Structure 1
Amino acid sequence: MSEHQTADVNAALRAFVDAIEDCERYRTFREARERLDEDEDAQQLLQTYQQKQIQLQRGGHDPEIMAELREVKSEMDDNETISEYMQAEEELIDLLDRTDDVISDRIGEEFARSTGGGCC
């Protein structure tokens, strides 16, 4: 790729990133993320949920831990900050998936989706 082509690609990429940053869905996501970061109760629920998941992974299926995990998940579902964040994240992911579809159609191959496997 020539320097001119690289500059054109970089300019187009910058315009794309600017458009995403100006998008209402992205702004909503960032605001929801900031609220989540500042909400100590929500952070505690997330941390407890992750700890329970780790316990299950390390200790195998334990009905007591599964029940605790379900209880924490229910509390997370009822937490407004977490729910708003999850909704905003889902909407942003949907936008980015549709963007990926458009790019993939234009270039005639999968653009940003994992096709599985690696080089080794």
Structure 2
Amino acid sequence: MSELQFEEQAVEDKFQTFIQTLTDSETYREFAEASEALDEDSEATALLHEFDQKQEQMQQGEFDQSVMSELQDLKSEMADNDTIQRHREAREALVELLQGTNEVITEQIGRKFAQSTGGGCC
């Protein structure tokens, strides 16, 4: 095994350990459980689907006050839906954990890590 292959395997092994640690974390487990609950809640998924459709309608230039009013009503219903709120909170906690992980890696390697540079390749 070449030195490069050895390094790549070592990185892959550590990466798999990181993934296992992440998926074993309470934050990730709560997100997974909240996602499953959301998938199983037909009322919540219908609200989200309807909201997405209304937003798409607006983006396609079909804006009028009635669509805006419907969006506001849907936002209010979504805010009152426990399943949607649980999922939102769990997602935010997971994103915060991953951002913190990114910051630690950035600090350790002395370079920005996992940040979009925007634009294309050239």
Interval containing the TM-score (normalised by the shorter chain): over 0.9
- Please tell me whether residue 109 in structure 1 is matched to residue 111 in structure 2: yes
Deviation at 1:115, TM superposition (A): 2.0
**Which residue pairs with 2:88 in the alignment?**
86
Residue 114 of structure 1, CA deviation: 1.0
Deviation at 1:70, TM superposition (A): 0.6
1:38 counterpart residue number = 40
Q: How much does 1:4 deviate?
A: 0.4
Letter in 1 for 2:15: L
Deviation at 1:10? Answer: 0.4
1:56-114 alpha-carbon deviations (Å, 9 max, x no partner)? 00125321101100100110000000000000000000000000000011111111121
Corresponding residue number in structure 2 for 1:61:
63
Matched residues, number: 120
- After TM superposition, where is structure 1 displaced by more than 2 Å over at least 4 residues in a row? none
3-state SS of paired residue (2:29): helix
CA RMSD of aligned residues (A): 1.1
Separation (CA, whole Å) in 2 of partners of 1:13 and 1:92: 18
The answer as to whether partners of 2:57 and 2:63 remain within 8 angstroms in 1 is: no
- Secondary structure at the residue paired with 1:2? helix
Residue pair 2:105, 2:113 contacting (<8 A) in 1 also: yes
In structure 1, runs of 5+ residues without a counterpart are: none
Long gaps (5+) in structure 2: none
Q: Is the 8 A contact 2:58 2:67 kept in 1?
A: yes
